Amino acid sequence: MQATATAVAIVLAGASLGWIALFSFVLSPVAFKTFDAGRAERLVKHVMNAGHGVLGLIAFASAIAALLAGAVAGASVAAVGGVFAFLCKFALAPREDKPIKGHRVLKTARIVASGLTAFIAPVLIAAIVLTVMGI
């Protein structure tokens, strides 16, 4: 049971890492390179609204599996990764506010969206390492 839970935790954290790599290093850069800034921002927002909630749930499922495997620290770190995913979703994606005193700078939208998502990857890698070590 413990070995199965460890394997499930690693697979789920790995799936989360795959989503992060796809979003941060493929989808976001290609969107901002291919489309105009407004359309790319809308696409990135839509993908974040649709995918980052699932990313957070997968990270939480990895935390539960790590906890079942006896890796409390790995579970805690994976749960922090899930919280970060939800924070990215709710802090960045639904922004429909009007710019204050001028216009919104869309050039930095790709950096913020993909950068904050990419910062979740080291947290999930740490969760995998701690789970494998059984800590």
Residue 120 has pLDDT above 90, yes or no: yes
Residue 87 has pLDDT above 60, yes or no: yes
Q: In terms of residue numbers, what domain contains 99?
A: 2-133
Within 8 A by CB and 6+ apart from 64, the residues are: 75
Residue 60 has pLDDT above 80, yes or no: yes
Residue 107 has pLDDT above 70, yes or no: no
Q: What is the mean pLDDT of residues 43-64?
A: 92
pTM of the model: 0.86
Of the pLDDT bands very low, low, confident and very high (cuts 50, 70, 90), residue 42 is confident
| pLDDT for res 77 | 97
In the block, which residue shows the tokens 């709710």?
90
Other C-beta atoms within 10 Å of 130: how many?
Answer: 20
| pLDDT for res 82 | 95
Residue 106 has pLDDT above 60, yes or no: no
- Count of domains in the chain? 1
